């Protein structure tokens, strides 16, 4: 019985750990970026990806609405939190770089946060240290985890909360 419970817990864990952020090579340019299908904000997702072979770089595309804030973080997994040494940037719908980071904190992971000024398709690029043009001119190699979150404007959150509270109150009055 205990064994069965443990097995079903493991099965549940494996389902829960299935990430939605996948990559399909080649995704090395904005033109071949992998599409990330996001949900309504607040939204978050994670995936284990890789710079493979050495010199690989990865692009992902997704929609941001004006006022939403994107946070994206890489965690190097090849050598614990140090390799691959990543860099990350964000391009707006006009392919203008609006955020860039090499190292976040004391590790070799990278992190950006950006509030969208306009709605449209944005491009997130990940590459290895030294490749400032994000074209694969580096020698970094290995797995990394990409974590992304999108949150609405704080005012919108409050409005949503107030709307939900009003809905609950209305339902209570009807009951």
Query: Which residue number, 28 or 41, has a Cβ lying nearer to Ca ion?
Result: 28
- Binding string, 39-78, against Ca ion, x = CB under 5 A? -----------------x-x--------------------
- The tally of CA atoms less than 13 A away on the side-chain side of residue 100 is 11
Separation between Cα atoms, residue 105 and residue 107, nearest integer Å: 6
Residue 4 Cβ vs Ca ion, minimum distance, rounded to whole Å: 39
Residue 171 Cβ vs Ca ion, minimum distance, rounded to whole Å: 48
Q: Which residue is nearest to Ca ion (CB)?
A: 58
Separation between Cα atoms, residue 138 and residue 160, nearest integer Å: 45
Separation between Cα atoms, residue 82 and residue 95, nearest integer Å: 29
Stretch that binds Ca ion, among 21-29, 39-47, 103-111, 114-122 (CB under 5 A): 21-29
Please list, in sequence order, all residues whose beta carbon lies within 8 angstroms of the beta carbon of residue 49, skipping any fewer than 6 positions away: 21, 22, 23, 58, 126, 143, 144, 145, 146
Q: What is the DSSP letter of 155?
A: H
Q: How many residues bind Ca ion (CB under 5 A)?
A: 5
Stretch that binds Ca ion, among 13-21, 25-33, 60-68, 167-175 (CB under 5 A): 25-33
Does position 131 interact with Ca ion (CB under 5 A)? The reply is no
Owner of token pair 């978050």? 44
Of 21, 27, 34, 72, the one binding Ca ion (CB under 5 A) is 27
Q: Which two tokens stand for residue 106?
A: 């004391």
**Positions that interact with Ca ion (CB under 5 A):** 25, 27-28, 56, 58
């Amino acid at each position: 019985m205990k064994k069965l419970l443990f097995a079903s817990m493991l099965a549940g864990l494996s389902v829960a750990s299935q990430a939605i952020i996948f990559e399909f090579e080649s995704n090395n340019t904005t033109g071949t970026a992998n599409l990330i299908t996001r949900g309504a904000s607040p939204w978050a997702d994670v995936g284990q990806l890789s710079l493979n072979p050495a010199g690989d770089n990865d692009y992902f595309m997704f929609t941001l609405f004006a006022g939403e804030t994107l946070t994206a973080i890489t965690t190097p997994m090849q050598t614990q939190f140090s390799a691959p040494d990543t860099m990350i940037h964000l391009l707006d719908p006009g392919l203008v770089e609006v955020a860039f980071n090499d190292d976040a904190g004391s590790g070799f992971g990278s992190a950006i946060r950006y509030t969208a000024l306009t709605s449209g398709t944005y491009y997130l690029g990940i590459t290895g240290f030294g490749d400032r043009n994000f074209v694969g001119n580096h020698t970094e190699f290995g797995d990394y985890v990409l974590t992304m979150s999108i949150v609405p404007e704080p005012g919108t959150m409050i409005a949503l909360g107030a709307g939900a509270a009003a809905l609950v109150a209305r339902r209570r009055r009807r009951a």
